[in-house]
Amino acid sequence: MPPADTLLTFIAAALLVGVAPGPDNLYVLAQSLQHGRRAGLWVTLGLCSGLIAHTLAVVLGVAALVAASTLAFTLLKLAGAGYLLYLAWHALRAGATQARAVAPLRPAQLYRRGVLMNISNPKVSIFFLALLPQFASPDYGPLPAQLLLLGVLFMACTLLVFGLLAVGAGGIGARLLGSAAWQRRLQQLAGVVFIGLSLRLLLSSRDA
């Protein structure tokens, strides 16, 4: 097991990554404003669950394959961008209607959105591949166990930061959901955010 000072340094780095503007916390922000605090928390749980796959990918060497293979990286990138455009289309279509209320998404739908958003982004696997091994060493014990521990700590930090973001943004969104006009604006805002995230992913490279 890594020493305490190494773990504390890793936790500080993980918290800073969670606070820094990025696709995942923007996604939580958009969903919390659009559907409320509870929706943001379900999306957060989905995103954190997706990190389990990325941690296992590092442990099993799959992340290294994605980092080395242009084809694998491109396929995952296209899948992630396509999913975001699908969400954008639904949000913009809802924003263009005159309905007084938007049907709330079920927790399972929100959770699934978070998982798919996270695991379809190859940049997360490459980020984990670059970050986790820096805090592991054969001197501290078996490497797989260390990498799993670091992945769990990163998930806990992400859950904390994104959870606070969901609660704050959801509180604002809840005050606006009673207005049909604001509902449409929030749907349109979500659609624009999804399109922006999709373009960002499409333009990303393995080295960026």
| 3-class state of residue 140 by DSSP | helix
pTM of the entire predicted model = 0.74
Tokens of 63: 């992340």
Report residue 159's pLDDT band, with 50, 70 and 90 as the boundaries: very high
pLDDT band of residue 161 (cuts 50, 70, 90) is very high
| 14-66 pLDDT per residue, tens | 898 888 777 788 888 888 887 788 989 999 999 999 999 889 888 887 667 66
Q: How confident is the model at residue 77 (pLDDT cuts 50, 70, 90)?
A: confident
- Rounded CA-CA distance 186/181 in Å is 9
User: Within a domain: residue 77?
Assistant: yes
103 residue type, one letter: A
Give the whole-angstrom CA distance, residue 29 versus residue 126: 24
Q: Which domain holds residue 137?
A: 4-14+22-203
Q: Please give the average per-residue pLDDT across 60-81, as a whole number.
A: 72
The encoded tokens of residue 130 equal 């670059």
Q: What is the pLDDT of residue 154?
A: 94
Whether 208 is covered by a domain: the verdict is no
Overall number of domains in the chain: 1
| Amino acid present at 192 | V
In a domain, 173, yes or no: yes
> Which of 21-25, 119-123, 163-167, 188-192 is predicted with the least confidence, judged by mean pLDDT?
188-192
What is each CA distance from 102 to 114, 115, 171, 185, in whole angstroms? 20, 23, 18, 12
pLDDT in tens, 115-124: 988 888 777 8
Question: What mean pLDDT is predicted for residues 149-170?
Answer: 91
Residue 183 lies in a domain: yes
Per DSSP, the residues of 15-37 read HHHHHS--HHHHHHHHHHHHH-H
Percent of the chain with pLDDT over 90: 19
Please tell me which residue, 188 or 156, carries the higher pLDDT value. 156
Residue at 135 is within a domain: yes
Average pLDDT (139-166) is 90
Asked whether residue 147 is domain-assigned, the answer is yes
